Structure 1
């Protein structure tokens, strides 16, 4: 059985993953509405992945005899952040992944403090996943910066993100 304190921490992470899914959905919509079809495809996929992360947490909490609470019950605001250009999209992606990583580490620390080694073991997958996600976001920004803002940069960046 999961402790009440750890249950609350898992529910916070469930909300964070749900919010990330909605955030990437909004980025996908912006990309699709502005001719970045490859980037839109990428962010629709990212949105689905974040939802899968949320569901994985929900199922784990249920297995541990806890009661997960979804973000909708908390009344989370999923309004899109303003987007200036494709570079801003990539920076929002990276900032969000950094934020999710910090939240995963906080949840892991709570599990360690509770001495819940089942949860510690379960969360190692999220630690690895966040390392990969941050690395991917940083790499996309670096490549976009190499492409620059001259000539056919919009097409090249869209193609690069779409292949990620």
Structure 2
């Protein structure tokens, strides 16, 4: 069994990962509504990743004899005034996810819960990639997105993203 505080933090993280999926679906819909289907694709895949992150946390809880209590997922209710704003919102969101993962990791370290630390190692590395990708989207938009042809090419590049299922992290 997990330490109760760690189990509660992981339960909260499950909810946050599912909220992340909602947020990215909302962003995907924003871009789709504006005929930027490559951006929409990129964020739809991001939503799939976040959903699967929640599933990995759920599997970890179940594999450690913990009961999972799902909570309400609030709607993102975000509005954007330009095509750049969602990329910034995504980057800021990923920084919050990283902070939350580090908080759980720190608690596991304090509790000498090495199994949870080992499980979270993948998420620590994943968050590095998530932040990098989100920041690259901002930088690419800043370089090319204000020009119609550049925006078209960037949209085409983002359309090429394909979904990759995360590894199994059974601990």
Please report the TM-score for the alignment, with normalisation by the length of structure 2: 0.89
Is 1:142 equivalent to 2:136 in the alignment? no
Unaligned runs of 5+ in 2: 162-171
Contact 1:140 1:161 in 2 (8 A): no
* Counterpart for residue 95 of structure 2: 98
Is 1:124 equivalent to 2:124 in the alignment? no
Q: Which runs of 4+ in 1 moved over 6 A?
A: none
Is 1:26 equivalent to 2:23 in the alignment? no
Is 1:85 equivalent to 2:95 in the alignment? no
Unaligned runs of 5+ in 1: none
Mapped partners of 1:150, 1:42: distance in 2 = 20
* Counterpart for residue 16 of structure 1: 16
* Counterpart for residue 7 of structure 1: 7
Deviation at 1:151? Answer: 3.8
Contact 1:9 1:110 in 2 (8 A): no
Higher helix share: 1
Residues 15, 113 of structure 1: alpha-carbon distance in 2 compared, 3 angstrom cutoff: same
Deviation at 1:76? Answer: 3.0
Deviation at 1:93? Answer: 1.2
